[in-house]
Structure formats: structure tokens, C-alpha cells
């Protein structure tokens, strides 16, 4: 299977200048970046991160690439090349591999990512897709979780909550937006929302040694969270607070830079949801005092 499938892949994958030698050799030869090399990897498994009885394999492939692209966006970086590893169930392995790659190649094409290589194997188990994505930072330093400063504005892209209704399979990585903002303002810290708005925001604050005062009514709740709340018995806010897999960005920057960003038109909504505090934790204001909030989300 592997040799015939590699021939198929060589015919489907675009040649991009960042990869000098790609699929078909013992290892890839990748053009080194001029600045910081950024690397991330993530894996999705059938029955855990998607359900093949309900979702197409192309959606699984797209998600596997998109979640890595979201991590690259959270670093303020540009994606360049990817290594893809598939562990395939033995029944219909070739068909499944082809379907998965349709989604992978679609996401790769949208963001000019070269498939540099990887591995394929079959076994008696569920589909697993693992992607290692390489990128670089065009200028300056990568965004980290640890750079938030007291009095920073906290911004979030898009809308959150309810991704389980299907949005988690085809998220929109904010790569283009992140690189546009890099040219306009000084982002102090960033993280993407994979495990829940509150949990990932708490991780950013913990890494920076700060806290945040949240403007709860400003949190942008997705329509899917409202729909899900009608059946789940939870409120739309609870879904927005903790559902996860939104793959939006949380960013902190000075209030002056935030005002500049908020005054501009972008490819998606950007909302200020709070302000960084010197005291650690997540807080909301009730009357004249701050009340602590508990972060919730998916804990690995």
C-alpha cells in the first residue's frame, strides 16, 4: 500500500520553495528559516477527537492540520511545511488514507503549507492522524504565553462555545490575522483556545504571573452555544466559558494598541473581554469588589 500511496501523494502535493526534497526520500530537506524556527505537533484519534461513524475522514484530515495551524497562529508565526503520520485501521486503509489526505491537502493549500513527508502504517485500531508543523517568525520574537503585563487589554477573536455541533472539524486558523496584527501592534502574549476559553486564559495568566478582570457580558458567545444550551441544560455562557475546540486566539497588548485594533476592520470579530491585573486568577467585578472565577475546560 505504502509505495502506491506515495506515488499518489507525489502527484497531489504541490512543490513549494521551502522544501527542497519532499516525499519519496529517506528524509525531507527543508529550507532553513531566516529567523526563529517554530515547531508544533498534535494528534487526533477516531473516537476521541472525531467520530468516523458521524464525520467524514476528510474532515478529520482538515482538523488535524487546522489545529496545528492555530498553534502556529498563536505564536505569531507563518506555517511552512508539515510532516504527516497516519496510523490506519487495516480494513479499507487505502481509501481512508486518501480521504484523510483530501482534508489535509485542502488545509495545506489554503495556508501555503508544503507536505514534506511523514509515515503511514496499518494496524488493528482506530485512525490516528499526527501532524508536525514547522514555521517561522518573519521578524522579531514569537508570541508566548508568558508576556502579559499588568493593565494589558485582553482580546479574543471570533465567537466561542458550542463547537461540538461541528465547527471543531473545520475551524478557521487565525494565521493571516495574527501576521497582520504583528505588523500593526505589539502583542505581549497569546494562546489559542483549544481546551476552553477560561482554562486557556488561566494558563496564559499563570505563565505570565498575572490575573485578569473579565467583562463577562462582553464575551462573544457563538450561536452554536445558544443552540446547544437549549438541549444541554447549561447556559450559553457556560458553553462559551468551557467548551473548547474553538481554535480562536486570546491576545494581550497595551490598551492603546487594543484601541487601534478594535477600531479597524478584520476578517473576524475581535472583542476586548478584560484587563490584566497584578493579582493572579480570573476575576469579575460585582459592585465594588472582585469575585474570583473558576476556570473550566478539557484537562488532558
Residue 245 pLDDT > 90, yes or no?
yes
- Here the cell at position 26 is 529517506
> How many CB atoms sit inside 10 A of residue 194's CB?
22
Residue 168 in contact with residue 212, Cβ under 8 Å?
no
What's the rounded mean pLDDT across residues 286-291?
91
pLDDT digit string, tens, across residues 193-242: 999 999 999 999 999 999 999 999 999 999 999 999 999 999 999 999 99
Residue 84 in contact with residue 125, Cβ under 8 Å?
no
Higher pLDDT, 11 or 27: 27
What's the rounded mean pLDDT across residues 236-263?
98
What's the rounded mean pLDDT across residues 151-177?
97
Q: Return phi, psi of residue 214, to 5°.
A: -95, 145
Q: Return phi, psi of residue 170, to 5°.
A: -135, 60
Instruction: Using alpha carbons, select from 5, 22, 25, 170 the residue that is nearest to residue 97.
Output: 5
Amino acid at each position: 500500500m505504502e509505495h502506491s500511496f506515495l506515488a499518489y501523494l507525489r502527484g497531489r502535493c504541490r512543490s513549494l520553495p521551502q522544501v527542497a526534497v519532499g516525499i519519496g526520500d529517506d528524509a525531507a530537506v527543508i529550507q532553513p528559516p531566516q529567523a526563529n524556527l517554530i515547531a508544533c505537533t498534535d494528534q487526533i484519534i477516531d473516537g476521541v477527537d472525531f467520530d468516523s461513524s458521524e464525520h467524514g475522514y476528510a474532515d478529520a484530515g482538515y482538523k488535524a492540520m487546522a489545529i496545528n495551524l492555530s498553534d502556529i497562529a498563536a505564536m505569531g508565526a507563518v506555517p511552512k511545511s508539515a510532516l504527516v503520520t497516519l496510523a490506519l485501521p487495516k480494513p479499507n486503509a487505502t481509501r481512508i488514507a486518501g480521504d484523510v489526505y483530501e482534508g489535509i491537502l485542502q488545509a495545506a493549500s489554503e495556508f501555503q503549507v508544503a507536505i514534506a513527508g511523514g509515515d503511514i502504517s496499518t494496524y488493528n485500531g482506530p485512525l490516528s492522524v499526527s501532524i508536525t508543523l514547522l514555521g517561522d517568525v518573519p521578524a522579531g520574537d514569537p508570541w508566548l504565553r508568558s508576556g502579559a503585563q499588568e493593565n494589558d487589554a485582553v482580546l479574543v477573536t471570533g465567537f466561542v462555545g458550542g463547537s461540538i455541533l461541528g465547527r471543531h472539524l473545520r475551524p478557521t486558523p487565525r494565521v493571516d490575522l495574527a501576521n497582520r496584527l504583528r505588523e500593526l501592534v505589539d502583542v505581549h502574549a497569546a494562546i489559542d483556545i483549544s481546551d476552553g476559553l477560561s482554562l486557556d486564559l488561566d494558563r496564559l495568566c499563570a505563565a505570565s504571573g498575572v490575573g485578569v478582570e473579565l467583562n463577562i457580558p462582553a464575551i462573544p458567545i457563538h450561536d452554536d452555544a445558544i443552540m446547544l444550551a437549549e438541549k444541554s441544560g447549561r447556559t450559553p455562557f457556560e458553553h462559551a466559558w468551557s467548551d473548547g475546540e474553538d481554535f480562536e486566539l486570546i491576545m494581550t497588548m497595551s490598551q492603546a494598541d487594543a484601541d487601534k485594533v478594535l477600531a479597524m476592520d478584520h476578517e473576524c470579530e475581535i472583542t476586548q473581554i478584560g484587563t490584566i491585573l497584578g493579582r493572579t486568577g480570573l476575576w469579575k467585578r460585582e459592585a465594588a469588589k472582585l469575585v474570583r472565577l473558576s476556570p473550566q475546560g478539557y484537562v488532558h
